Amino acid sequence: MTLVERIQKLKAKKGFTLVELIVVIAILAVLAAILVPTMLGWVKDSRITGADSTADQIKNAYNSVITKLDVKGNNLKKKDGYYSGSKVKGKITLGIENTDFAGTPAAAVSTDLMEEVIKDVADNSYWVIHIKDGGVDEVYWSQTSLAASKPTFVKDGEIAGNIIVGSSPKASPAAAP
């Protein structure tokens, strides 16, 4: 065999055929079709877990403030009910406007304490707290504005409109009647 024939033979074997490339692309497409929905579920689950953690952080902050004020002799005597708060553009609104201690020196102290405790909560955060028997019973948190009432969950960690809402304690969708 001459040198020219050997070079032509090597050139003929170099690379992949079109059929081989199409088979590889088809296999990658099948793997992507299987993995992408699974990965999206993990992302959503992690967002729900993060929202639950933030709700728990806010609940602990409110309970800490209530305890500190009680120790200082400021019996809060809150009205039971749902109150909304927010942190928008760095400004914190606590949601104590309709409680018995709104407008008192205790309210100013609680605002200062809360701003210190929840300074790390993400901006554009909205929460609803449920005050019961002078303490925080439930907290719901979202990065979408919430009505000042208990949210109705349609899925685990979601309300209508696919809005992720964290809760402390963990809330589940209402059972169908």
Count Cβ atoms within 10 A of the Cβ of residue 135 and give its class: 0-12 exposed, 13-18 middle, 19 or more buried.
Answer: middle
Instruction: Please report the pLDDT score of residue 8 as a whole number.
Output: 77
pTM: 0.67
- 33-42, 49-58, 134-143, 144-153: least confident range: 144-153
Q: What is the Cα–Cα distance from 87 to 57, expressed in whole angstroms?
A: 14
Model confidence pLDDT, tens digit, residues 26-78:
999 999 988 888 777 788 888 888 889 888 888 888 787 777 777 776 665 55
* CA atoms in the 13 A half-sphere facing the CB of 129: 29
Q: Are strands 153-155 and 91-93 parallel, antiparallel or unpaired?
A: unpaired
Q: How is residue 71 written in tokens?
A: 């120790």
Model confidence pLDDT, tens digit, residues 102-120:
555 555 556 666 676 667 7
Instruction: Please report the pLDDT score of residue 76 as a whole number.
Output: 57
Count Cβ atoms within 10 A of the Cβ of residue 87 and give its class: 0-12 exposed, 13-18 middle, 19 or more buried.
Answer: buried
**pLDDT of 177 strictly over 50:** no
Q: How is residue 107 written in tokens?
A: 């309210």
